[in-house]
Amino acid sequence: MGRSFAQIAFTPLVKEEQTKHGSRFQYERMQKLSNPGDTLTEYEREFILSRDSFYLATVSETGWPYIQHRGGEPGFLHVIDDRTLGFADYRGNRQYISLGNLEHDDRVALFLMDYPSRTRLKILGRAEIHEGASAQKWIEDLSEPKVRKLVERAIVIRVEAFDWNCQQHITPRFTEEQVVEVVAPLRERLARLEEENKRLEAKLARLSVAG
């Protein structure tokens, strides 16, 4: 865990709970010894660029936490540099809940899951909304070439901290594409066996006619 993540996430009440439950000493030590952890390394970059979805948490002006799923082709969440992420915001159901929340508070939490490897990454940052004529460059840079939907705005996230979590309690799940790839050799083997079975049945039929 990077120091920046602990500085943000370990609020006074969180620290009180850690003290009450006996983990404060360990985390204080970890916090002191750790590196800042506010710049993405090649490892985070690769992980982020291979995601086809993430969850975006915002906070409303009435204090409610809110989470929305964002999805696209791998790479739709761009790593602009080691402290900056960005994605194109397409026209959707036009509820604009995340957008409204960001008007009030630019802080976001991103939750990225890789189910096959049971890995998760949490990112904390501040979101900038780029809309209108002045946002054209951002919109061009962040739009996915294959997607033919109206990009309403670009959302740029300035990363302040991140943390990886352990693999516990994550059930491995696979996309349809990943399943197709894994079962392809089995399908081929099945097809070969079916052919062989047909040939053997025909041979058997010929033998029983001859007999």
Ligand X SMILES: Cc1cc2nc3c(=O)[nH]c(=O)nc-3n(C[C@H](O)[C@H](O)[C@H](O)COP(=O)(O)O)c2cc1C
| Dihedral sign from CA coordinates of 109, 163, 73, 126 | positive
In this structure, which amino acid lies at residue 52?
D
Shortest Cβ contact with ligand X: which residue?
92
Which of 8, 57, 97, 113 is the binder for ligand X (CB under 6 A)?
97
CB 149 within 8 A of CB 158: no
42 Cβ contact list (under 8 Å, min separation 6): none
Which of 7, 68, 84, 143 is the binder for ligand X (CB under 6 A)?
68
Residue labelled with tokens 């970890």:
30
CB 37 within 8 A of CB 72: no
Residue 36 makes contact with ligand X by CB under 6 A: no
- CB neighbours of residue 4 within 10 Å: 21
Residue 72 makes contact with ligand X by CB under 6 A: yes
Which of 96, 172, 181, 189 is the binder for ligand X (CB under 6 A)?
96
Environment class of 77 (CB within 10 Å of its CB; exposed 0-12, middle 13-18, buried 19+): buried
Separation CA 109–CA 125 (nearest Å): 7
Nearer to ligand X, 67 or 182 (CB): 67
Residue 65 makes contact with ligand X by CB under 6 A: no
Size of the site for ligand X (CB under 6 A): 11
CB 130 within 8 A of CB 89: no
Please calculate the CA angle 49-88-93 and round it to the nearest 5 degrees. Answer: 120
- Among the listed ranges 40-48, 96-104, 131-139, 191-199, the one in contact with ligand X (CB under 6 A) is 96-104
Residue 85 makes contact with ligand X by CB under 6 A: no
Nearer to ligand X, 91 or 203 (CB): 91
- Among the listed ranges 21-29, 91-99, 174-182, 186-194, the one in contact with ligand X (CB under 6 A) is 91-99
Residue 153 makes contact with ligand X by CB under 6 A: no
The distance of closest approach from Cβ of residue 41 to ligand X in the complex, given in angstroms and rounded to an integer, is 26
SS3 198: helix
Nearer to ligand X, 68 or 165 (CB): 68
Residue labelled with tokens 């979101």:
127
Residue 98 makes contact with ligand X by CB under 6 A: yes
Nearer to ligand X, 1 or 155 (CB): 155
Residue 71 makes contact with ligand X by CB under 6 A: yes
Give the interface with ligand X as residue ranges (CB under 6 A). Answer: 68, 70-72, 90, 92-93, 95-98
